[in-house]
Amino acid sequence: MISCICIDKDPVALRSVKSFIERTSYLNLLGSFENYYEAYALLETQKPDLLFLDLNIPELREIDFLKSLNNPPKVIFTTGYSQFALHAFELNAVDFLLKPFSYERFLKATDKIFEIHQLEQFYRKEKNSSIEDYILIKSEHNIIKIDLKEIYYIEGYKDYLKIYTTKEKPILTLKSLKAMEEILARKGFIRVHKSFLISIQKIESMRNNKIRILNKYIPLGENYKKRFHFEVVEGRC
């Protein structure tokens, strides 16, 4: 779960953001405030992962407030003023939501946070030498736990992946194949084509640069042959 708080001087806008957060399964709302003074103690003690922060004119005091935090969370700015976009990106905000915004636009912003959060958790585990035997995947509005031993292969499309497992239907998720390759590195998976990432343990046979898994022949791309033969065929991984 991604912990978050929201700050907005407009009570109507604040209720709207709160309702969007409550509809999103991977977000956990710790508190909502109409001014940043009230939020300061919670930000400093509970250290939320994400802050939805409204920007107002003319002083932009919210930016000074943000800079005053010891360990500021990731930020998604919400405002009715498009000219604040530059300030948002100068502060490395994850996204900038121009009011009024839809739930679909809200999800695009929070999905970025979800991706970042997942990668950070992965690298933290790698640093601590803790190897998990599962991954967490966001599919539609749900978080799904998938055991690595259940994955046969993953097929990448332009904006999403299909994860083929022991389940009857593939699992769809909005993620790049490159990001998934990084998550599954050194966990028994290997990229064999620009569109395919496979489980080494699930390989059934190989013939004419085609790898048979789950009764499907997956092509071995020219750019991936050398690594495949080194790590899989010669067993030097």
Q: pLDDT tens for residues 170-206? A: 999 988 899 899 889 888 999 999 999 999 999 999 9
* Domains detected in the chain: 2-123 (3.40.50.2300), 131-233 (2.40.50.1020)
pTM of the complete model: 0.58
Q: Name the β-bridge partners of 134.
A: 147
How far is Cα 46 from Cα 150, in angstroms, rounded to an integer? 36
How far is Cα 148 from Cα 156, in angstroms, rounded to an integer? 17
Average pLDDT of the chain is 85
Contact of 149 with 122, CB cutoff 8 Å: no
Does the structure show a pLDDT above 50 at 39? yes
Q: Name the β-bridge partners of 164.
A: 153
| Structure-model confidence comparison of residues 31 and 81, the more confident one | 31
